[in-house]
Structure 1
Amino acid sequence: MMATHLLPTFESNADLTPTWIGLTFSGRAAALFAVLAGVGLALSTGKDKPLEGAELSAARRGVALRALVIAAVGFTLGGLEVNVAIILVHYAVLFLCILPFLGLGAKRLWAWAAGWILASPLLAYLLRPWLLAPEPPLKLGHNPGWEDLGTPARLLADVFLTGYYPVLQWLSYLLVGLAIGRLVLAKALVPVLLVAGGTVVAVAAKTLGVAAMEDWGGRAALEKVLNSPGYPLGSVLQVNLTGIPQEGSWWWLASAAPHSGTPLDLLHTSGVAAAVIGACLLLGRLAEWVDLDLLLPLRGAGAMTLTLYTVHVWVVSGFYLKPLPGGWTEDGMYFVQAATAITVGIVFARLQWRGPLEWAAHAASLVGRGGFKAVP
């Protein structure tokens, strides 16, 4: 996510040739972030044996209060001037939307995930034009902030359908993550299946999407709908479809473009996320075999992503519409922030500390579960 925020995804504004950063990480990084949220929720609510009864109710209350902390952080960051689409308010709403599914086992979750991936983009395609028809349209056009609570209809429409990370479709990622977390991850075959299955799904979805656009006439049909001669739709379809009005043609639903929220996009990015998770599990097995903590750089930063993400957005906002300090480049800014995040994560992991915002979210969760106590 830092790479897509700090490094160019196109070669230049004049020549919109995708960079390797855009081709590799755009859409996939944010999706992995959401899928991992689902995995984390599964691990905290019974792993492969979901909680039941009073324990499940307590866990749901804990998740709901944790979501409120995340939302508060997101609304606060929404007041910053920054060229980053901040995900935290949407993330918090996703936590609330996933509550009814926390008691389900893996098989039912996979079925729900498959159905949601197929149906939610169709529903979004039908509802978006209706929400964008009023004047002004029910779309914020900026990151949600505290002031947007004064226009709840527009805020909810934006968060669920018309904004950067439409919750209606993005719930698919949490369902996939929850289903992965409900597997018996300690079994030797599970990581292999995640890598193999995720790769097959990802490749098949992307191949089908590219064929639909380039070989079956999809891109030509969409260019006619856009009615903008010379618009580099081919490049945009490879990197980021955010901001493009996906209406006027059913061909939009055949794309696998990053941030398009179509069935093929959701399938591709979910498959990539599953494969990455499986690869990390295999790396963890290797670490146990050689008796080295190979995952410490990832594990440390991964345990305090809310804090690191918040600091990252705040730092990026400090350079918004301003030149970089003398001698600094975009590459340098990225490597400094990434290295700092990894270093801080390692230190906190070694000292067994929670990040400050993680502590607040964990405390809220304990209050919801009815067992608050001071934690390090």
Structure 2
Amino acid sequence: MTQILSQAEAPPTPRSLPRIVGVDVARGLAVLGMIAVHTASAEQIGEFAFFALSGRSAILFAVLAGVSLALTTGGTRPPAGPGLVAARRSIAARALALFVLGLVLTQLGSPAMVILATYAVLFLIALPLLRLSWQWLTAVAAVAAVAGPLLSFAIRSHMDVPGTFGETARFDMLTSVDGVRHLGSVILLEGTYPVLTWVPFLLAGMAIGRWGLRRERAGLVLVALGSALAVLGLGGSWVALNLFGGKDALVAHLDEMMPGEGAQLLADLLRMGSFGTVGTDPWQWMLTSTPHSGTVFEVVGSGGVAVAVLGLCLLAARVVPRILVPLAALGSMPLTIYAGHIVALALLLRTESFTQSWATLLWFLAVPLIFATLWRHYLGRGPLEWALNKIGAGAARLGSRPVVS
């Protein structure tokens, strides 16, 4: 008896398993957090809330991207053989689509700094790591959390020309050789979301996904682990700044530029956060942990916050699942909602009808929740998620040859 099988038939995703509601809830929170930062001001929602959401919402989303990669490539069992080849093709194709979509959204002129190009590169970096166990992924993530920021600092310290400040990938960077070089620098090293300091978040998420989120005490373990990392990172930064002279060195440096105003200027800078990197002179900037600073303290501390939030969402999904239905629906189509709010911001700016107000913020939070809940109930998968899945599935089948047995 002869059977004709396709190598691509080994599915890269565990389709038989139900969705993990807590993960969807966490994604929903991450997307809403980014929307709030893009549409509100610190004066509206309070400095503490704005500070907590700024940067950390995107980091939560990056950690969850890693979780999704693990869940869709075998979960606790890393893929091998034809399944691994298909998974890598699928992820690579989706990464390319995300990169193009990120450039398109940036081209619209929205005030939001689009993160999708960085996500795309992170997905490509993950390809050779798909076979690793959760123990190895945890070790690699820990090394990257320390080595990435230090390497970034070392490279930028020896750059002849001042680096970029808060840039993201754009189409016009592809029009010349120098532009492509600049694009690489923005994505890998100097932009708002530099891969060198963001890869630990993806790896941490992959480790969590491989470890297993369906364990009985997964939520409690992640809350405890995340809280410990948050204290280590954010608390360690406070100690280094206030007890070991870091703050005094930075104030003295700023006083040289603005005599008598160094302390207030430092307080303002730490409250505002950064745009992907910190300065290299003096080196004590590396002791800070403000959002988007890309220091070891920020990577560990904010990464820990993301892990703890995921754990809390897993616990909440078990206790009050019905209340979380709209948030879980939104989290099941994060790309659609994220891209949609970027487009909406760009359109409002063109019509000069965008203002930062409570009404604007409520609209930008309520409409996605209502849309996602209705779409999920009646149509299922989000439109962009459906398209990305089709692209990935098509790529997984490319190059597969029939095997006759």
- Output aligned runs, 1:202-221, within 5 Å: 202-221=230-249
Relative contact order higher in (CA < 8 Å, ≥ 6 apart): 2
Corresponding residue of 1:259: 292
- Is this contact kept in 1: 2:164–2:186, CA < 8 A? yes
Correspondence for 1:353 among 376, 380, 387 = 380
Q: CA deviation at 1:138?
A: 6.0
Answer yes or no: is 1:2 the counterpart of 2:30.
no
SS at match of 1:232: helix
Looking at structure 1, the residues matched to 272 and 152 of structure 2 have their Cα atoms a distance apart, in angstroms, of 21
Superposed CA RMSD: 2.3
Looking at structure 2, the residues matched to 153 and 362 of structure 1 have their Cα atoms a distance apart, in angstroms, of 31
Corresponding residue of 2:183: 155
Corresponding residue of 1:60: 88
Aligned pair in 2 of structure 1 residues 320, 142: CA closer, same or farther (>3 Å)? farther
- Corresponding pairs, count: 358
Looking at structure 2, the residues matched to 222 and 101 of structure 1 have their Cα atoms a distance apart, in angstroms, of 39
- Output aligned runs, 1:41-56, within 5 Å: 41-56=69-84
- Output aligned runs, 1:222-301, within 5 Å: 222-226=250-254, 227-229=256-258, 230=261, 232-242=265-275, 245-287=278-320, 292-301=321-330
Corresponding residue of 2:105: 77
Looking at structure 1, the residues matched to 207 and 61 of structure 2 have their Cα atoms a distance apart, in angstroms, of 15
- Is this contact kept in 1: 2:187–2:193, CA < 8 A? yes
1:273 counterpart letter in structure 2: A
Deviations 1:146-205 (A, max 9, x none): 221122111001100010000011001000000111122221122101011111211232
Instruction: Determine which structure has more spread, i.e. the larger CA radius of gyration.
Output: 2
- Is this contact kept in 2: 1:254–1:264, CA < 8 A? yes
Aligned pair in 2 of structure 1 residues 4, 208: CA closer, same or farther (>3 Å)? same
Percent of aligned positions with the same letter in both sequences?
35
SS at match of 2:211: coil
SS at match of 2:213: coil
- Is this contact kept in 1: 2:67–2:206, CA < 8 A? yes
- Is this contact kept in 2: 1:26–1:239, CA < 8 A? no
Answer yes or no: is 1:335 the counterpart of 2:368.
no
Corresponding residue of 1:15: none
- Is this contact kept in 2: 1:2–1:338, CA < 8 A? yes
- Is this contact kept in 2: 1:3–1:21, CA < 8 A? no
SS at match of 1:98: helix
Corresponding residue of 2:342: 313
SS at match of 1:104: coil
SS at match of 1:265: helix
SS at match of 1:103: coil
Deviations 1:304-354 (A, max 9, x none): 1111111111221234487546xx752211111111111111112212422
Corresponding residue of 2:169: 144
Corresponding residue of 1:185: 213
Q: CA deviation at 1:245?
A: 4.9
For structure 1, the residue ranges without an aligned partner over 5 or more in a row are 13-17
Aligned pair in 2 of structure 1 residues 142, 166: CA closer, same or farther (>3 Å)? closer
Aligned pair in 2 of structure 1 residues 213, 298: CA closer, same or farther (>3 Å)? same
Q: CA deviation at 1:254?
A: 1.6
What TM-score does the superposition give when structure 1 sets the normalisation length?
0.89
Q: CA deviation at 1:280?
A: 1.1
